[in-house]
Amino acid sequence: MGRLSNDELTRYARQVIMPAIGEEGQEKIKRAKIFIAGLGGLGSISSYYLAAAGIGCLKIVDRDDVDLSNLNRQILHTTQDIGLPKTSSAEMKLRSLNPHVRIEAVQQEITAENIAGIVGDCSIIVDATDNMGTRKALSIASVKMKIPFIYGGVDGFNGMVTTFVPGETPCFHCIFPYEAKKRGTIGVVGPAPGVVASIQAMEALKIILGIKGLLTGRLLYFSGVEMTFREIKLEKNPECGICSK
């Protein structure tokens, strides 16, 4: 990808004027390729903001179709999209938002066996999934491929975010070493994933731009009821079977 066009300079003008970004930083954003795992409540927001910011390529992956029950929080999709694959619905919206961004849409279940091939040459993994098994597959790929993994989770009015950087921080398995007990359908109020995914998108941009202050070694917990944020320090497990080998 070459230099920014006049159209791109106008589109991203409010970013380019920032000293922390400038034209050089915007070109870094344009050269980046990010993997977004899941196109639900979290993926709706993170993919939209990253496309708007001018990420050169977004690889979006989801196995499901749009369902009516998704629409209270998965705002990338509309009533007219019900029955469509989420990847197709998302691809249309993201291309419409920013034609300068290349979208690679993959309708497939993410597994431990196929994750490395699906991630391919992406340089950041954004977790927008809703189950422990997929997250652990993403974590393993992150460690093996030595690329950052931005975790996000929501439950009701609450959410949490952290950034795992292989070789520098604990990994997902250090923090969640055991399989979680299966639960029924988890309630989620729409703005909760909006808050979490916005922070995930911010973390991704900071990684690309080399801006300090990442959520590394820190789990940021958000309570929507109390409207508070608090940090939990994370430590590497020296006996972790994934990142301490």
Domain map (residue ranges) of the chain: 14-233
Would you state the pLDDT for residue 185?
A: 84
User: pLDDT digits over 79-92, tens only?
Assistant: 999 999 999 999 99
Would you state the pLDDT for residue 198?
A: 98
**Residue 186 burial (CB count, 10 A):** 10
222 phi, psi to nearest 5 deg: -115, 125
pTM, two decimals, is: 0.96
Fold of 14-233: Rossmann fold (3.40.50)
H-state helical runs in the chain: 6-11, 13-16, 22-31, 41-53, 86-97, 115-119, 132-145, 172-175, 191-209
- Mean pLDDT (whole number) for 29-53: 98
- pLDDT band with cut points at 50, 70 and 90 for residue 2: low
With a CB cutoff of 8 Å and minimum separation 6, the contacts of 80 are none
What is the overall mean pLDDT for the chain? 95
User: pLDDT digits over 90-135, tens only?
Assistant: 999 999 999 999 999 999 999 999 999 999 999 999 999 988 999 9
Q: Are the C-beta atoms of residues 190 and 75 closer than 8 Å to each other? A: yes
- Distance separating alpha carbons of residues 134 and 152, to the nearest angstrom: 13
